[in-house]
Amino acid sequence: MLNTVTMGEDSTHPPILIAHGLFGSARNWGVIARRLSDQGRRVVTVDMRNHGDSPWEGNHSYPDLAEDLAQVIAAHGGQADVLGHSMGGKAAMALALTHPTLVRRLIVADIAPVAYGHTQKHLIDAMRAVDLSLIETRRDADLQLAGHVSDAGVRAFLLQSLDVKGRAWRLNLDALERFMPAILGWPDLVGSFDGPTLFLSGALSDYVKPDHRPAIKALFPKAQFAKIPGAGHWLHADRPREFEAAIVAFFGV
């Protein structure tokens, strides 16, 4: 079972389940989860497999990730409003397609059900290049990581998955590297999800393009589309209040 963090109580609505993206964790979503729970919803954030405090597994395909999320929903009442970002968005889509009765409403944040041509292997190489035996503080790790990753924001994001005291990454880098083609790809899933679905993108991001819409509509016929001005791929970090407002409006918090 995935490691989860639950905030708030709500006897009226199903919980909101939040699935993070590649190299992320439940803790990345703590502020948004808390603010949603303060408005009266129960919010469950997860560490996806091979991330955070969840088990390390040999497989990391989207059907695997969907089954993990299905188990979490089953343990929290049997239905949820599901929000997934990037890799978590693909896992959430796979969940909705394979277990449609478990999903009441779906928000897919800045990702489409298509294969992408880029890779994140360079970030795995950068994390592996850090000599953890020399780490006393997060700042020590940041100085080493800066030699491989110039963007301070990306470094800060990656370093949230570093256990400084244990001198270890809370990421199964071997499995994530091995399954990088599958993470960037999209499985051949049949059927469709007929529930309300929102594809929410950053206006400065190119992850969800107009030519992706036919593929999206084929799988999610009730899909709606919205963009958050001034936000890139990490739209929840770039414009958190606007992102939160979109969740509230669509999920009916």
The DSSP letter of residue 193 is -
Delineate the domains of the chain, giving CATH numbers in brackets: 4-116+185-251 (3.40.50.1820), 121-172 (no CATH)
Q: Which two tokens stand for residue 100?
A: 């449609």
- Please check whether residue 38 is in contact with residue 153, taking contact to mean a CB–CB distance below 8 angstroms: no
In degrees to the nearest 10, what's the CA dihedral of 140, 142, 145, 146? -120
pLDDT in tens, 102-125: 999 999 999 999 999 988 999 999
Residue 174: active-site member: yes
pLDDT in tens, 4-14: 999 998 878 99
Q: From the candidates 125, 163, 174, 194, give the one annotated as an active-site residue.
A: 174
Q: Which two tokens stand for residue 96?
A: 């909705």
Q: Evaluate if pTM is beyond 0.85.
A: yes
Residue with tokens 């708030």: 8
Alpha carbons 128 and 50: distance in angstroms, whole number: 16
Residue 99: active-site member: no
Q: How confident is the model at residue 63 (pLDDT cuts 50, 70, 90)?
A: very high
Residue 192: active-site member: no
pLDDT in tens, 167-206: 999 999 999 999 999 999 999 998 999 999 999 999 999 9
The two most distant CA atoms of the chain are separated, in Å, by 52
Q: From the candidates 25, 37, 54, 86, give the one annotated as an active-site residue.
A: 86
Alpha carbons 82 and 116: distance in angstroms, whole number: 23
Quickly list DSSP for 142-180. Answer: HHHHTTT---HHHHHHHHTTEETTTTEESB-HHHHHHTH
Q: From the candidates 51, 60, 233, 236, give the one annotated as an active-site residue.
A: 233
